[in-house]
Amino acid sequence: MRSTAPVLSVRGATKRFGGLVAVNAMDFDVTEHQVMGLIGPNGSGKSTTLNLISGALKPTSGTISLRGTPITGLAPQTITHKGIARTFQLVRLLPSMNVRDNVVAGAVFGHRRRWGAEAAAHADALLDRVGLGGKGDMPVGQLTYIDTKRVELARVLAGDPTLLLLDEWLAGLNPTELRIGIDLIRSLRDEGRTIILVEHVMDAIRSLCDRCVVMSSGSKIAEGTPTQVLSDPDVIRAYLGDDDD
């Protein structure tokens, strides 16, 4: 039976850059084993919200808690050690290292740390898990685009995070790769992973997410199941603009 206790609680999270309010009083919870979609038009504040959660940015005001423990304003490495890991819109691999060592880095610096032979074996198991079995010795510069994303995903999984933040992980994939990517995220959901998914691919949102928070101009404008929010008039206006007819 799923627990309803929040893994993550965001209360009043606000980020200002001078006179610009990039995130305005965000409130939401993510519960155990839930996939929460964070969606909205470009520039609506989704990635900034992930940056507040992961520690890349400090909130101007508001609180963020992981399993009831405040993490507001902590350094990114501290938040990683507490159990939050993320991918980025632009894949960030370590170009001087091979595929296996990129994943080992996640095992060494993640929530649950592993070292030496244990870390290497764990990395190889995760490479199998994401569909890159046998490619551990390959230089990352020889990988296809989707395979670089797989390496990044294996690396964030290597630390056994409590909460996984996927920032447009499916972006830029062709239709065949997109189906592979959706199936991979679905398999993580089926394992019971807790995930915040920032995504523009609505097929992925509909098939993967338990609930969605919709942002527009830095504020939450809707929350509910994918079916509920994608039929909400405010959400439709945010994506398509007002009808002048």
What does pTM read for this prediction?
0.91
pLDDT, mean of residues 68-89: 93
Q: What angle do CA 22, 195, 191 make, to 5 degrees?
A: 175
Q: Where are the domains of the chain?
A: 1-73+164-169+195-245
CA dihedral 94, 97, 100, 105 (to 10 degrees): -50
At residue 244, the pLDDT reads 42
| pLDDT tens digit sequence for 134-183 | 999 999 999 999 999 999 999 999 989 999 999 999 999 999 999 999 99
pLDDT, mean of residues 207-223: 96
pLDDT above 70 covers what percent of the chain?
97
Which class is 1-73+164-169+195-245 in CATH? alpha beta
pLDDT above 90 covers what percent of the chain?
81
Mean confidence (pLDDT) of the chain: 92
> Could you tell me the pLDDT band of residue 4, with boundaries at 50, 70 and 90?
low
At residue 8, the pLDDT reads 97
Query: 6-17 and 20-31 as β-strands: parallel, antiparallel, unpaired?
Result: antiparallel
SS3 144: coil
The answer on pLDDT for 59 being more than 70 is: yes
pLDDT, mean of residues 65-93: 93
Tokens 């940056």, residue located: 51
At residue 242, the pLDDT reads 57
| pLDDT tens digit sequence for 86-128 | 998 888 898 889 999 999 998 888 777 888 899 999 999 999 9
